Structure 1
Amino acid sequence: MPADPAAVIDVSLARPGVAYSRNLFGHFIEHFHRQVYGGLYDPGSPLSNERGFREDVIEAMRELRPSVVRWPGGCFVSSYHWRDGVGHPRRPHYDKAWRVTDPNTFGTHEFVAWCEAIGAAPYICTNAGTGTAEEMSDWVEYCNLAQGSHWSALRTDNGHPAPFAVPFWSIGNENYGDWEMGAKTPQEWANLVRESAKMMRRVDESIVLLTAARADLEWTLPLLLAAGRYLNMVSIHGYWDSLADVNQPSAYLTAISRSLDPQREIQHTIDIIGAAALTGQVGIAFDEWNLRGWHHPWGNSDAAVRARDANDDNTTYTMADALFSASFLNACLRRGDVVKMANIAPSINARGPLFVHPEGIVRRSTFHVMAMYANQLGERVLETHAAASDLEAASVPVIDSLATIDSTNTRVTLSLINREPNSAVPCEVRIAGHPVDGSHQATILDGPGADTYNDIDRPSTITPRRSKLDFRSGHVALPPHSLTICDIDLPLHHTEGDIDAGRILSGDWQLSTTGWHKTS
């Protein structure tokens, strides 16, 4: 007899599922430490092309099928003036956020070109700290207006007559925090966003417009009441292992115990949007997220800047980071009707999934999670009913799950997370109430231990492996500390005999082997 399952998962076929945005697999780059300079942009390196872009980084980013990249910050943007980063010659400026000198050699033109190289849409975050509404709208004009204005003419003079057509724009970054230059009160922020949004939309009505918010009623409700009619999304951020001043990354169980926090913040923000009567009109962008907060002791001394090297310690990024990231993506996908964008922060170096060094790159554990989700899921999220026992000492379910279905409605893809660090865990999987049987193709991400990691001298300790999951009357054992993505083709085979998918009815829809069809 199979062991009693620690989790029972029943995937419903009662409805066709909810389509989600691929922008949930978005990225973020900030002018912090070696993300840009010495990361994606390294003129003079034998690994860089004629524009100074690292070719190995471009190829690795393409593996992630990035939909959108947010830039230039982050805290950096709150004292960044975009005009310093266009044209020639360019003068360096002192970055008051991170207290170093930025050469300004990587600016708007370079960012848009890099996005094109990796196949992503550019998303520009504007300076709402020391900047003005006019400066923000001028940047939109420089990038998106065809011809006939001062700023579009300057773009032409700088070598790019055609508009960049940047689709995504954000007003500000974390302006609710006293750490941010140009921090505002809720009412000050609401007024600035309203006026900035008006000016930006008068330049280009088609832009997708976001602004800095948080899962906090006192901050976000006044913002939405004042400016919600101009916005497409509110931007919230999350780092759940705070390491800014002291770099002591949490151990596996502590990190995993925070896996439910993102979905709580999503729900709280959804409730605030509802309180503003903007449900269905304003979405959520988790446009900075990561388990680990960036380490940056405050100060401009050489020691304070060198301390940022601790972010590049690859021993930090274990299966805890991988499984937290998978849990985060599951939470966003389950509410894909409202959460329209998420950007892992950052993409390169610091806490990012891709570590770049002078001789090459390392794909950290989170790189493989991002690649699996971006490349292997179906197009719509199915409703799933799940019950699981708690992981001992962590107070989170030991198994987390997500189910998607592909565009042909013939394949269900399961994302199954086993948070137990040391043991395989049995679970039971049903689809439309019927236990899954047979052997099914799967990709498994795990490692020799929960605390293993990839590094320059061990780049593949954690790497996805193709395998098969063997289900017996719905029962299957998931490897310890693992993410498993498994494909199950419809119609299903079960112990009771073949189940005809065409017999599964759902109101006005009927699922057959050729897809969903209206029954009336």
Structure 2
Amino acid sequence: MKNMNLKDKMVSVKTAGLCALLLAGQPAWSGTGKDEVIRHNSVSVMPGAPKVKYSKMIFGQFIEHFDNQVYGGLYDPESKFADEDGFRKDVIEALREIKTPIVRWPGGCFVSTYHWLDGVGKERTPVYDKTWQVEDPNTFGTDEYIKWCRKVGCEPYICTNAGTGTPEEMSDWVEYCNLTIGKYGRMRAANGHPEPYNVKYWSVGNENWGAHELGARTVQEWGPMVRESAKLMRSVTKDAKLFAAAKSDKKWTLPLLREAGPYLDYIAIHGYWDPLFHVNNPAPYLKCMMKTDAPEQDIQRTIGILDEAGFGGGKIKIAYDEWNLRNWHHPWHGDLRRGFDLEARRKNDMASTYTMADALFSACFLNACLRHSDVVDIACFAPVVNTRGPIFVHPDGIVRRTTFYVFKMYTNGLEDYMLPVALEAGRLTQGSQSTAVFDVVLTGNADGTRYVYAVVNKDPEKSHALTLDFKSLGVKEPRKLKGTVLSGTSADDYNDIGKERVVPEERSFEVRDAAVVLPPHSLTLLRLEK
């Protein structure tokens, strides 16, 4: 992707319908980058609002048998970095670095023609993958996936085949993983794994609402299919956490909930906001920032559907088990007459695609999940390795892309509880579109002695001052705050082999009149202590 000339973009900042002007008589603020500092932004703690312990599962990941995600990605026995099981040790170490809590597998669209029995046992027969039109060797199957999850330290989350598969096949897979008796429990033991895997998270299907999906279902077919699948799966593991492929659309999800809601724990929603199916032309930074409010709107629509169906208030929770700013590039997907340009899939790995736009959109997505942490319980970034993942794998190591460091900052830097806040902020505009220049969440520890603000400044060029609420937290206004910043030198910076331009930096922020100045195109974690 060519670097954008952001100076040529029409950017303005407004607050409450007024132009944001530097206040006369205010101290001269020293910003960062393109040094003009804009004020009139504040965040306040909402009085009386309870703090909520959020689920760390929102920092989950996803892997699919697509291109070089599994083979040549996390699994590569020929690599100099491979362990005794063929897994890339550098990938495992990186995933532990970001405290990956859960990984969904094996798809994705791949799963709709995947039959799990092909991938267990000593004899593995390669099969033709009808979704991605390549041969899958079946070397990496259920047993390898579980072993890999154990090494990463994450929960396995298995998505089942509701395309060409059957409810019985799904429940047999649960039996293989979780029982010590029966045909499939004994089969697992015979395959060298006597102890049950106790897989807790299971999904019925993947995007079965879409015409692109092999084995797509109609609205009328889907609810009964999910209901009967869930009944069989629960007959094997009563306390399994069950998901079903859904979307933030009443026409699909309301009938699903009416038919199968009593059997479900989650509805599985997917979100990609820069569609690049056929043409790999990633949206530029400012256009991406105009999309940062979309995940919150999507969540609110989905909550409305759950409420209308009678499953609101957390009775059924939301799992974004695939999400990313940018969709994967897979030319001609959905038009099987034309076939796939396999080589073009590698455009997904172009390092210059993954700039601060991807990092800041990802932070805004996670912030939206945190703000709705009573309902949004799980999220899986899609995918975790190669394609559009936070980790790029190459023969001599890995690249930690900009999005990797968002996960590292959040999983290692936030406190455990969400405190609701109200934000008053200027607007960043592009044409007729606009978005708040800041996106802010506040987390705290259990006893209220530590707090961390996560603040996104979306402006590509200007620093902005943000007034913090120290009083409501019972914290004396400090002279300085310590913080961790991810920004790079421009909004278009990216990481590549041998070139890490975007990495978190520890900084000290001067506090004046309860305000701090945040650099342009940045994610900042600000730490407060009593």
Q: TM-score, normalised by structure 2?
A: 0.90
8 Å contact kept, 2:38–2:464: no
Equivalent AA in structure 1 for residue 143 of structure 2: H
Equivalent AA in structure 2 for residue 252 of structure 1: Y
Per-residue deviation, 1:433: 4.7
8 Å contact kept, 2:330–2:340: no
1:227 to 260, 267, 279: 260
SS in 1 for 2:436: coil
Per-residue deviation, 1:473: 1.6
Matched, 1:248 2:284: no
SS in 1 for 2:495: coil
Residue 18 of structure 2 aligns with which residue? Answer: none
8 Å contact kept, 2:66–2:132: yes
Q: For the residues of structure 2 that align with 1:360 and 1:93, how far apart are their CA atoms?
A: 30
Matched, 1:348 2:385: yes
8 Å contact kept, 2:485–2:506: yes
SS in 2 for 1:270: helix
Matched, 1:43 2:82: no
Per-residue deviation, 1:436: 4.0
Equivalent AA in structure 1 for residue 496 of structure 2: D
1:209 to 235, 239, 242: 242
Residue 366 of structure 2 aligns with which residue? Answer: 329
Matched, 1:166 2:199: yes
Identity of aligned residues (%): 51
Matched, 1:86 2:123: no
Equivalent AA in structure 1 for residue 57 of structure 2: N
Matched, 1:277 2:310: yes
Residue 320 of structure 1 aligns with which residue? Answer: 357
In structure 1, the gaps of 5 or more residues are 491-520
1:482 to 518, 522, 528: 522
Matched, 1:429 2:468: yes
Q: TM-score, normalised by structure 1?
A: 0.92
The one-character-per-residue Cα deviations of 1:205-248 (angstroms, maximum 9, x if unpaired) are: 01111010000001000101111111000000011000010000
Per-residue deviation, 1:438: 2.0
In structure 2, the gaps of 5 or more residues are 1-25, 28-36
1:470 to 510, 513, 527: 510
Q: For the residues of structure 2 that align with 1:170 and 1:392, how far apart are their CA atoms?
A: 39
Per-residue deviation, 1:430: 1.2
Matches within 5 A, 1:102-501: 102-145=136-179, 147-279=180-312, 280-298=314-332, 304-393=341-430, 394-433=433-472, 436-458=477-499, 460-490=500-530
Q: For the residues of structure 2 that align with 1:301 and 1:42, how far apart are their CA atoms?
A: 31
Equivalent AA in structure 2 for residue 228 of structure 1: G
SS in 2 for 1:97: coil
Q: For the residues of structure 1 that align with 2:40 and 2:492, how far apart are their CA atoms?
A: 23
Per-residue deviation, 1:468: 1.6
Per-residue deviation, 1:13: 6.0
Per-residue deviation, 1:45: 1.2
Per-residue deviation, 1:4: 6.1
4+ runs deviating over 3 angstroms: 12-16, 299-303, 431-437
Per-residue deviation, 1:44: 1.6
Matched, 1:59 2:98: no
SS in 1 for 2:368: helix
Equivalent AA in structure 1 for residue 408 of structure 2: A
SS in 1 for 2:125: coil
8 Å contact kept, 1:13–1:431: no
SS in 1 for 2:85: coil
Q: For the residues of structure 2 that align with 1:407 and 1:175, how far apart are their CA atoms?
A: 41
Residue 497 of structure 1 aligns with which residue? Answer: none
Per-residue deviation, 1:115: 0.6
Provide the aligned C-alpha RMSD in A.
Answer: 1.4
The one-character-per-residue Cα deviations of 1:173-225 (angstroms, maximum 9, x if unpaired) are: 00000000111111200010000000000000011110100000010001011
Per-residue deviation, 1:307: 0.2
SS in 2 for 1:420: coil
Residue 22 of structure 1 aligns with which residue? Answer: 56
SS in 2 for 1:424: strand
The one-character-per-residue Cα deviations of 1:501-520 (angstroms, maximum 9, x if unpaired) are: xxxxxxxxxxxxxxxxxxxx
Per-residue deviation, 1:437: 3.5
8 Å contact kept, 1:78–1:129: yes
8 Å contact kept, 1:437–1:473: no
Per-residue deviation, 1:301: 8.4
Residue 23 of structure 2 aligns with which residue? Answer: none
Residue 498 of structure 1 aligns with which residue? Answer: none
Residue 503 of structure 1 aligns with which residue? Answer: none
SS in 2 for 1:56: helix
Per-residue deviation, 1:267: 0.6
Per-residue deviation, 1:130: 0.2
Equivalent AA in structure 2 for residue 361 of structure 1: I
Q: For the residues of structure 2 that align with 1:220 and 1:478, how far apart are their CA atoms?
A: 41
SS in 2 for 1:43: coil
